[in-house]
Structure 1
Amino acid sequence: MLNFLLFKVIFIGAVMDPVWRHILRLSMWIGILGFLRIFSLLSRDRFDNLATVAYTPPNAYYKITGLLCAIFVTNIFWYFGSMVLFPSSLTFLTLEFLPVALDTVQVIIKYLAHLMEQSRENGFENKWLINYYTEISADVLILGCTLLQYLQLMWMHGISFGLVDIVLFLNVRSVLKNLHSKILIHRERWRAMSYVRSQYVDATDQELDDYDDDCAICRDELKTAKKLSCGHLFHL
């Protein structure tokens, strides 16, 4: 949060005219957008907590999903308002709007996948796949937007090798490091999955019927599976 506030102060000082009315108006716009993002992140933490509970009433998910939808709609209206209030800063504010929207959509998709799993008697086998690609896609896009924000601010502020420039360089370095880490982890995971797919044969429908059991690892129902040499079946 401190880094967020510091960055916004730098932005306001770099791009706004020294008119208090304009500065206060933009500060209010960014502040409310920041609160929307905080609520979105809190909803994601709440989902991570609920996902570890053995049973949670569906109403708990419906309430949070409704809150997330309200956040998303408010975020869109807030963005359209920026077109009228801050037309000269629209590019930067677009990059500010997108991370909030992506965070919110990511959590909504996770909640919907979890609700589908709870509503189906046999579970939802592709839930983990949807959650994984939703999370990795949203994280990479958010980091990309953040990087573009920093680069735009560096261009608007100019490079003078002062304290502001040092802070911006450190933030750019941090974003690039996180982005590289995300891509590297995904690549290694993809290699591992490709190796497993090539090393183990797929279980046939007859073998799944004969096995008539849950996955030996995650304990979910088996609809498709890989077969180990010992005869056990497991999900990828």
Structure 2
Amino acid sequence: MAAVNSFYVAAASTAASAAALQWWAGSLLDGAPAPRGAADGGGGGGDWLSTVLGSRVTVALLANLAAHVFLVLILALKTLFFVQLTSSETRKVLEHIINYVLYKGTFLPLVVPPNSRQIILWSSWLGLLCSLKMFQSLARERLEQLNASPSATPSRYFRVYSALLLVLSADVLWIKLCVGFCKSCNSKLFWLLFFEPLSIGFETLQSIMVHGFQLFDIWQRHLMDSGADYLDFQKSYKQAAGSFSEWRGRLIRHFGFVIDLISLLMSLGHYSMIFWLRGMAFHLVDAVLLLNLRALIASFLKRIKTYVKLRKALSSLDGALPDATYDDICAYDDECAICRGPMARAKKLSCNHLFHLACLRSWLDQGLMDGYSCPTCRRPLSLSSEHTRSSAAEVGNVQLIAEQLNMGLNQQRVPGHEHPIEHQNPSDAVWSTDA
């Protein structure tokens, strides 16, 4: 109800802005002398347009109307995709918008000429990108909530998922418009138009891939729960679930690593371009820019190091844990306790609990504990004696796994999607820890 009320208020305010603009333009035309040639049927369209746009009040009213129309569009899309936001979602959206404006818009006045044309252009640029980031973060958080909800349906999930498709489409369209604009303007300043849209595009593409897999899982569960008509489908799904889950985990992990590096490079390019256009002036703002660049470079190198540690730890995990036999899988009802999905292949812990290797990697990737343990019984990760191929070698291997996990995986996530100093929301951990 609050969302509908806000939409109605914004629509009424937009109508009032349009009426005020129409009244002011009419008063200007009534008080202005008739353009030459108008009485003879000549073209006077350019004269009345220049008369109307020559007033600063008219320009202000036009900007006000455009802002109201944009607000109505944003509220309509928000209601369409998310219906109503919770208080927590509203707070997070405001925090993201404030951080984005502070970290991306604060430095623009250093290089943007102080004229009305440039101010309108870069304000529109920043406002559109803030809206895209808002919808992107909202969609990611809402999809994570739906994925954890047992009552989520494919239609509800796809409704929110469509917001990511809209963000990607709008971002691609905006990049095309920026390309055309830069071709008509021979200025290095407009190279700044591309860094942030490219970063948003790659991040949205990653979210589409990750949540697309989750949408596929929800659709499969919906089919299997719908009745006996899908027994054949359920049987084939069980046979392929293990290998598909492992392949998907690798794809998400590697693609997420590449996207993290690209996002860091886009932020690095944004600040480097501002620093280059401004030049070295040895002011306080230059020190802030250098600190941002230094933090981005450190985050870039840290992301590479933690990814290498992650690869080493997870590759050791596969060899250290024994494969579950067919009888073991049947005894545990062919179901992974992490993803609640069927198992064709599984790894067996010392406590005899079975999991998909990809799911176990995802559990360990999260780095939420100092000591890594079984997801079911919380027993410390180790090997039992009856499954030990070579006792000394396996014990050493497990110790190596624990050391690598405790040292490397707790530092897996690094900031940098929005700003190098900004801390990431813990709910965003799925973008690189989902296996």
State the TM-score, normalizing by the size of structure 1: 0.84
The worse-fitting range, judged by mean Cα deviation, of 103-112 and 207-216 is 207-216
- Aligned match of 2:105: 8
- Aligned match of 1:116: 216
- Aligned match of 2:267: 146
Residues 203 and 233 in structure 1, CA contact (< 8 A), matched pair in contact too: yes
Residues 176-187 of structure 1 aligned to structure 2 (within 5 Å) = 176-187=297-308
- Deviation at residue 69 of structure 1 after TM alignment: 1.2
**In the aligned structure 1, how far is the partner of 2:114 from the partner of 2:340?**
62
- Aligned match of 1:42: 138
- Aligned match of 2:392: none
**In the aligned structure 2, how far is the partner of 1:162 from the partner of 1:198?**
55
Residues 216-231 of structure 1 aligned to structure 2 (within 5 Å) = 218-228=339-349
Residues 14-25 of structure 1 aligned to structure 2 (within 5 Å) = 14=111, 16-25=112-121
The worse-fitting range, judged by mean Cα deviation, of 217-226 and 149-158 is 217-226
Identity rate of aligned residues, in percent?
A: 29
**In the aligned structure 2, how far is the partner of 1:133 from the partner of 1:225?**
22
- Aligned match of 1:26: 122
Residues 202 and 226 in structure 1, CA contact (< 8 A), matched pair in contact too: yes
> In the TM superposition, what whole-angstrom CA distance separates every residue of 1:60-113 from its partner, at most 9, and x where no partner exists?
211122222122111111111112334434532221211111121122112210
The structure 1 residue matched to 2:317, chosen from 191, 196, 199, is 196
- Aligned match of 2:86: none
**In the aligned structure 1, how far is the partner of 2:146 from the partner of 2:179?**
38
Residues 23-102 of structure 1 aligned to structure 2 (within 5 Å) = 23-87=119-183, 88=187, 89-102=189-202
> In the TM superposition, what whole-angstrom CA distance separates every residue of 1:29-79 from its partner, at most 9, and x where no partner exists?
232122112211111111222222122122221112222212211111111
**In the aligned structure 2, how far is the partner of 1:230 from the partner of 1:81?**
59
Gaps of 5+ in 1: none
**In the aligned structure 2, how far is the partner of 1:224 from the partner of 1:74?**
42
The worse-fitting range, judged by mean Cα deviation, of 180-189 and 199-208 is 199-208
**In the aligned structure 2, how far is the partner of 1:188 from the partner of 1:178?**
15
The worse-fitting range, judged by mean Cα deviation, of 220-229 and 45-54 is 220-229
Is residue 2:172 matched to residue 1:172? no
**In the aligned structure 2, how far is the partner of 1:211 from the partner of 1:57?**
27
Q: Which has the larger radius of gyration?
A: 2
**In the aligned structure 2, how far is the partner of 1:119 from the partner of 1:217?**
18
Q: 1:216 to 1:38 in 2, by over 3 A?
A: closer
Q: 1:61 to 1:134 in 2, by over 3 A?
A: farther
AA aligned opposite 1:10: F
**In the aligned structure 2, how far is the partner of 1:228 from the partner of 1:4?**
44
AA aligned opposite 2:269: L
AA aligned opposite 2:279: G
Residues 202 and 259 in structure 2, CA contact (< 8 A), matched pair in contact too: yes
Gaps of 5+ in 2: 1-96, 225-237, 358-435
- Aligned match of 1:157: 278
AA aligned opposite 1:11: L
The worse-fitting range, judged by mean Cα deviation, of 109-118 and 169-178 is 169-178
Q: 1:48 to 1:230 in 2, by over 3 A?
A: closer
AA aligned opposite 1:139: D
Q: 1:203 to 1:155 in 2, by over 3 A?
A: same
AA aligned opposite 1:110: V
The worse-fitting range, judged by mean Cα deviation, of 82-91 and 149-158 is 82-91
Residues 113 and 130 in structure 1, CA contact (< 8 A), matched pair in contact too: no
Residues 153 and 218 in structure 2, CA contact (< 8 A), matched pair in contact too: no
**In the aligned structure 2, how far is the partner of 1:70 from the partner of 1:4?**
20
> In the TM superposition, what whole-angstrom CA distance separates every residue of 1:165-198 from its partner, at most 9, and x where no partner exists?
1221222233233333333332222111111122
- Deviation at residue 134 of structure 1 after TM alignment: 4.0
**In the aligned structure 2, how far is the partner of 1:159 from the partner of 1:106?**
36
Residues 109 and 134 in structure 1, CA contact (< 8 A), matched pair in contact too: no
Secondary structure at the residue paired with 1:68? Answer: helix
Residues 323 and 347 in structure 2, CA contact (< 8 A), matched pair in contact too: yes
Q: 1:92 to 1:204 in 2, by over 3 A?
A: farther
